[in-house]
Chain A
Amino acid sequence: MSLLEINDLSKRFGGVVAVDSCSLSVPAGSITGLIGPNGSGKTTVFNLVTGFIAPDGGQVRYKARSIAGLNPDRIYGLGIGRTFQLARIFPRLTALENMLVPVRRAGLRALLSQGQWGHEKERAMEMLAFMDISQVAGTLGGALSYGQRKLLELAAVMMAGPELVLLDEPAGGVNPALLERIAERIRQLNGQGTTFLLVEHNMGFVMNLCHEVVVLHQGRAIAKGTPNEVRENPAVLDAYLGT
């Protein structure tokens, strides 16, 4: 069963066709990789799926329901979270406060709730511990190291329990030890039921982690399969190495 289905998705910016009749699907419970040369449209696909830009054509279906054109906060409420290429957190809030911002259900009572938000705070501390950053709970986001921010970003996104998480270059800018930790956490979360779609350039990371890989080139999907299948695919090699 595919959790996310993209059909014939298109987007152009002025004269540039960023996404060109792109179709792909993400099976529920998988860790799917989205790879491709620079400029192949990967981040644009993310932005289209999460509502930051509206598509020119095509459909995006999440759990068989069309979500194209919805606002990002609505989409998060439906259960799709995302991280950003350059880890984004709230610099003037503490790490713990960062964890408490995500809103899954915007009910009036929930929003007006006071104090330490009881069980939400507990969950947040658990999540921080899971990511091994509970010691910085009281530190302002702006004072965190980049690695800590990456971990915090992922932890915060998970707070509202999204079923699908889009990770934009989770391995970008991190050292090998942290890389391994991140991969491990993703695996664990996946084991607990979260589906992941990740954009990544670090091939080792992708090959080790992903069940399935989709290759984008010039805005369309040119190959898909297991990491090994894709690795040998001539079209893929062409895309990466060709002019």
Chain B
Amino acid sequence: MTLVLEAAVLGILTGGVYALMASGLTLIFGVMRIINVGHGALVVLGAYLSFALFSSLHMDPFVSLVVTMPVMFLLGVLLQLVFIRPLKTDREALSVLVTYAIALGIEGVLGYIFTTNYVELRGWYETATFAIFGFHITWVYVFGFALCLLILGGLFLMLYRTAFGGAIRATMLNRTAAQLIGVDVDRVAAIAFGIGVATAAAGGVVFGITNAFNPGSHYDLISRLLTIIVLGGLGSLRGAIIAALLMLVTEDITQVLISPVWANFVFFVILVAILIVRPQGLYGVRVRDRI
């Protein structure tokens, strides 16, 4: 039983990481109606950036965020301007291909620079644990979770308390209406994409600390992230967070109760189950385009 509880706690902690990564993904979909299939690769890129800073300057991964997040933000804005904005027609479909191409490009460059060997982010707290109620929790997971709370909290604050956040939400709800009330939707889209990528950088640090990774890791990541946002409902931030927690807790419990091998699989089983019962996900809206 304690094993299950421990798994549940771990699930919540890692769920936080995935929630952070998924939030950027669902935000991007909500604002631009595009599926950023390259999000996993951007997370991995963020991890490698921190890794490079750590290898060359011995910078602590969490500290490196001060550098990587702004850099990735700018990268995100750039990507949006160069590759996504020019898509005028068939945007939903083409953006999938474009972002996939970006992912491949990132994988290729990372593979060239860092080779395909697995690496990991390190910190002094790496294996340090503390005991609580009889089971052990590694510090690093707690730090990671705290970071996620911090950034997600910041995201919510921005969305619901600032004027710009209002502009983002308006664009998500109804792009045309937002334009009519004077929102510069193009600028909102670019900045939202930047924010999404910046959160990927943060997610990358925590992901990199708790997992060994290589350039090819983005496939695994993106399949899980996509599953999470579908479960949560495309475009819903709240949904992404809850879905991430749900998925990871279930996965970790399955890992101890059944087997690690099938833990991965359980992810998709949940997805299928939800799709049968409620195709729009937990917080998604059943959309009929126009009537």
Contacts and interface: CB of A to CB of B under 8 A. Distances in A.
Judge A-B direct contact (beta carbons within 8 Å).
Answer: yes
Interface of A: 43, 47, 52-53
B227 to A, nearest CB: 29
Interface in B235-291: 288, 291
Contacts of B291: 43, 47, 52-53
A47 B288 CA distance: 12
A53 B286 CA distance: 11
Interface of B: 288, 291
Nearest to A50: B291
B290 to A, nearest CB: 8
A53 B288 CA distance: 10
5 contacts: A43-B291, A47-B291, A52-B288, A52-B291, A53-B291
Contacts of B288: 52
Contacts of A52: 288, 291
A43 B288 CA distance: 15
Nearest to B288: A52
Nearest to A44: B291
Contacts of A47: 291
A43 B291 CA distance: 9
B138 to A, nearest CB: 46
B184 to A, nearest CB: 27
Contacts of A53: 291
A129 to B, nearest CB: 31
B276 to A, nearest CB: 19
Nearest to A47: B291
Contacts of A43: 291
A52 B291 CA distance: 7
- Leading 5 A-B pairs by shortest Cβ distance: A52-B291, A47-B291, A52-B288, A53-B291, A43-B291
Nearest to A86: B290
A219 B103 CA distance: 52
Nearest to A52: B291
A52 B288 CA distance: 9
A89 to B, nearest CB: 14
B161 to A, nearest CB: 25
Nearest to A88: B290
A50 B288 CA distance: 14
B242 to A, nearest CB: 22
A143 to B, nearest CB: 15
B126 to A, nearest CB: 50
A230 B175 CA distance: 41
A47 B291 CA distance: 7
A87 B291 CA distance: 11
B176 to A, nearest CB: 14
A45 to B, nearest CB: 12
